Chains A and B, each alone.
Chain A
Amino acid sequence: MKKLDVRVLRVLNRSKTQYIAITLVIIIGLMSYIAFGMAMNNLDVTVKDYYELTNFADGYVDFSSISESNISKVGEINGIENIEGRIIDEVKIDIEEENVRAKMISIPEIDGINQLFFKSGIKTLDSDREIFVVSQFAKARGYSIGDELTIIVYGKKYEMTIKNIVDSPEFVYLIENEQTLLPDAKKYGVIYVTQAFAQNVLDLGNSYNEAVFTVEEDIVVQDVLDEIDENYDKFGIVGMTDKKNQISNRMLNEEINGGRQMVSVIPVIFLSVAAVIMVFMINRLIKNDRMMIGVLKAMGYTNKNIVFHYSKLTVLIGLVGSIFGIVLGFRFSGMMAKLYVDNFFNIPMLTAVFYPVFAIKAILMSSVFTVAAGVWGSRSVLKIHPAESMRPEPPKIGKKIWLEKFDKLWSKIQFDWKSIIRSALRNKKRLFFTMIGVAMTYSLSLMPISIVDIYDVLFVSQFEEFQTMQYNVNFQNFVSDTNILDIEKDTQASIIEGKLEIPFEIENGLENKIVTMVGINQETQMYHFTDINGKTIQIPDEGVLITESVVNTFGYQVGDEIFLKTYIPGKDDISVKVKGIIKQSLGINMYINIDYMQKMMVDKGLINSVMLNSDEDVKSILEDYPMIASVQSLQDISDMFMEFMDYTIYSVTLMIVFAGILGFAIVYNSGIMTINERQLEFSSMRVMGFSKIEIFKMITRETLIISIIGILIGVPMGQAMLISIGETFNNDLYTMDLAATPIAHLKTAALTSCFVIISVVATYEKIHRLNFIDALKNRMT
């Protein structure tokens, strides 16, 4: 090994902690890149394989009722590959004191569309009283094969036996609807029944109420849906969805896309920070090695040789970081992918593809950053003149700092504070970097801390400020509003209001989505509408209020006319004028005067939902009401939310640890550089009688001042980062108003201070080891 290379290893060994801190930053950057990147790719591939294996549908058309022959007619549309009729409806599961519901679906044909995935066991239902249950639901409720359960369909109970536990590509992410915050497999599941049973209990004869289809290659599903709508509305279409908007598939794709965006940002942040630290570190090292570089030049070493020598330091750090980052990244990618397919989603298989390209990209990224840092950091080698370097470097010109212009103020500052302020202000580049480093640590910590708060705010703003009802009671169909009186009486409701919820299809340009229009009383006490400036607004007599998510998706503004396609048989499509834009954290909706809506869409006095507040056990009271499809309480949502928060805490902790390592690497390295730079000064002070603790205090004060400024910069920086992340994640399910709360800022400031204090304490070791006699020797050996 070349002797200069031996020196590289020994230099690294001498300042292990410093280099380990930088290496950790690189490791985290690359590990996250590979682990997340590969997990996202594998999730994507797995989903595609799963969809292919199970023949996942490209489109869904809901009918009030459609015969087999008419389904075949629809199937003749150009581009449709296969079409199947099926029966689907919401049912209750009869469990005492619990409101458990499920989607009941007739089992697909063997080798048909949306095939069920069986891990083992029986794949057919022999009797009408046998069912399959989706695995999330079975797991959450502890169901096993052979268990009996009672389902309630339109008030009638049916005893069923679980024949097998299955998975379905349709319910990879099992949430009831777009208004539901999170999956709650304990309260909402999916069961599969025989076609005959479903037709029988829903009184459909030989008909179906949904058609699922796949399209031929290169066929645009929306075009097919448009054609179906145009030609077969007469069959009573009540809703349409394409694969892109199928809720489970959409959530899955949003997760993959969001994850991929994170993958492209994280390594750049971490590698940039590592590179900047290395530039400062090499710069400092070269200043220390000035005379040695002169000797090397005197011996005949070229500038290139010497720049290479110092660059090898950074490249070696990058190499070690890359090796660990790649190994750990690959190691964790499997775990991450498994976590996604098993926990976040429910996919019964995992296609684990090894992507060496991630390792290659990681090495390339690391090489670019570390080589650049090495060459840039060691460029000052070129300026070192061998003859001049043999003489001790003249002291830097001690210019006054700007603060000294204020004589009265400056004269009142004690000597040690003067030294601290001068030291900080004379090394502006490092001062700036350390401040930005602390600010970045603050910003990165603010994100996970705020996520907890943001979800909290999201919950409060949606379920305590925007909606104030304790219960939502949904009917199976349109009912007369006279039912309100009965329910009011039975539940002793303090407030009760009827509601009309009808889904419409909105199409604007390339965007096409089902949006539920909610008709409520103008004087509603259950909703509090505010415009985007937070000003209270009321439901207009005519026209609609739209949520911000409608604006974001379709671009509508106040005054625009929205064309709404309806699926209510016999009703014409309508158009309504936008009268206002409102804030709503969850879901995509339009709100309208219920009288106006009844007039347009159904008969006067018809509703399909009731909102109420009551201190009674509403669920039990309404359990046997024949027309009620579901009763949802705020408590259910709150419980689900708390469960989700427990889960989130792990990823939040991990992100905070990453931010902490970043902060440590920056502050610790900056502290060590300060000590190295001022070694002579500190040694002189030691000779004069200053204790190690007194010197340590001086460094600590300097670091703390810089850190406080860094934290102050971090407040707007973190806020900006939150907003940009919010924009990435906002969709029509969540509209996050990502403003960190003062409490979140306080928590983040405390946490960042902890990281700074740990880093400062770690630098004490260097002060402790400072040999002031050696340091006062003016020569290198």
Chain B
Amino acid sequence: MQDFIKVEGLKKTYKMGEIEVNAIRDINFTISEGEFVVILGPSGSGKSTLLNLLGGMDLPTQGTVFVEGKELTTYDDRQLTEFRRYKIGFVFQFYNLMANLTAKENIELATEIALNPLNINEIIQEVELDERANHFPSQLSGGEQQRVAIARAVAKNPGLLLCDEPTGALDYSTGVNILKLLIRVNKKYNKTVIVITHNAAIAGIADRVIKLRSGIITHNEINENPIDPERIEW
């Protein structure tokens, strides 16, 4: 079976004034379609940089990234935009919803540019926001906002969901609910989900766990027995 994501010899170096920062140093891994992956690492390990490279938001200094057999690293700006538009759904730590749009409108904002979006009402039901759909972000709790963000990412019907510390700003029980929602999305819609986090407890729910430290993969293994988010604690 062809790898859904294939990363080879990936390097990313930033220039910060006079200093060069090697955020990612020679990374290689593959991810299969439909996998729920947790990329684990402490702050400054290169997680977000990796997520940005996988999501076509940034280009590597060296190496290649293949998604569904297409080499992202050869894409120009227009192709990267198209890739993000049709193939990727992002979920951010601080939700990043449009303050001036209601929950439902935030989701519609994504579906308006999608080729084959999912049914919005169904997604809203799925994230259990039927009652809150017409509320503005400022009227929603953190957990509700993150559910909107997930719904927005899923509604476009992308193949890959990239989640940057999706529980980072939430309390424990809300965080668990969000993880459950992500697993539900992963299973029900067969989306490949990559969650990056510094929270080691979350690793237990993943099909695959990749650990990063100082821009290098220190651990990449399949979790044969993923556990229910209800059973994890932090």
Contact = CB atoms under 8 A, between A and B. Distances in A.
A6 B101 contact: yes
B36 interface: no
A387 B138 contact: no
Nearest to A10: B100
Interface in A233-247: none
A385 interface: yes
A300 interface: yes
A14 interface: yes
A69 interface: no
A583 B129 CA distance: 83
A302 B78 CA distance: 8
Interface in A269-328: 291-292, 294-295, 297-302, 305
Interface string B57-92: 110000000000000000000100111111010101
A780 B145 CA distance: 12
Contacts of B137: 781
A295 B55 CA distance: 12
Given A10-B101, A14-B100, A292-B98, A3 B84 contact: no
A298 B90 contact: yes
B57 A386 contact: yes
A298 B54 CA distance: 12
Interface stretch (B2-10, B109-117, B191-199, B221-229): B109-117
Q: Which of B78, B81, B95 has the most CB of A within 10 A?
A: B81
B119 interface: no
Contacts of A299: 84-85, 90, 109-110, 113, 152, 156
A11 B98 CA distance: 11
Contact of A297 (B48, B81, B98, B108): B81
Contact of B100 (A2, A11, A297, A300): A11
Contact of B96 (A3, A7, A10, A781): A781
Interface in A389-437: 390
B129 to A, nearest CB: 15
B112 A2 contact: yes
A292 B90 CA distance: 13
A390 B48 contact: yes
Contacts of B85: 299-301
A292 B94 CA distance: 11
B97 interface: yes
Interface string A147-175: 00000000000000000000000000000
A299 B100 CA distance: 17
A300 B97 contact: no
A294 B84 CA distance: 12
Given A299-B109, A299-B156, A292 B78 contact: no
A779 interface: yes
A201 interface: no
B174 interface: no
A324 to B, nearest CB: 24
B138 A781 contact: yes
A779 B78 CA distance: 28
B128 interface: no
A387 B85 CA distance: 15
Nearest to B83: A300
Given A2-B112, A387-B57, A390-B92, A7 B101 contact: yes
Contacts of B48: 390
B90 A3 contact: no
Q: Is the interface of A mostly helix, strand, loop or mixed?
A: helix
Nearest to B95: A781
A301 B101 CA distance: 16
A298 B55 contact: yes
B101 A779 contact: no
B52 interface: yes
A294 B81 CA distance: 12
B98 A298 contact: no
Contacts of B81: 297, 300-302
A25 B95 CA distance: 38
Contact of B113 (A7, A301, A387): A301
Contacts of B96: 291-292, 294-295, 390, 779-781
A300 B94 contact: no
B21 interface: no
A687 interface: no
A558 interface: no
B158 to A, nearest CB: 9
A295 B101 contact: no
Contacts of B86: 300
A10 B82 CA distance: 28
Nearest to A9: B100
Nearest to B81: A302
Contacts of A2: 112
Contacts of B52: 386-387, 390
Contacts of A300: 81-86, 88, 113, 156
B99 A780 contact: yes
Interface in A741-781: 779-781
Contacts of B113: 299-301, 305
A118 B210 CA distance: 100
A11 B85 CA distance: 25
Nearest to A781: B137
Given A298-B57, A298-B84, A300-B86, A3 B145 contact: no
B105 interface: yes
A303 to B, nearest CB: 8
A14 B96 CA distance: 19
A295 B58 contact: no
A298 to B, nearest CB: 5
B65 to A, nearest CB: 14
Q: Which of A4, A295, A301, A779 has the most CB of B within 10 A?
A: A295
Interface string A1-25: 0111011001100100000000000
Contact of A781 (B82, B112, B145): B145
Contact of B94 (A7, A11, A14, A779): A779
A511 to B, nearest CB: 65
Contacts of B109: 3-4, 299
A4 B164 CA distance: 24
A295 B90 contact: yes
B57 A781 contact: no
B41 to A, nearest CB: 17
The 8 closest A-B pairs by CB, nearest first: A300-B85, A10-B100, A387-B52, A3-B109, A779-B94, A387-B58, A387-B57, A781-B137
12 contacts: A7-B98, A292-B98, A294-B96, A297-B81, A298-B55, A299-B152, A300-B83, A300-B88, A385-B57, A386-B52, A387-B49, A390-B164
Given A6-B105, A291-B96, A780-B94, 9 more contacts: A6-B100, A11-B100, A298-B55, A298-B90, A299-B90, A299-B152, A300-B84, A300-B156, A301-B113
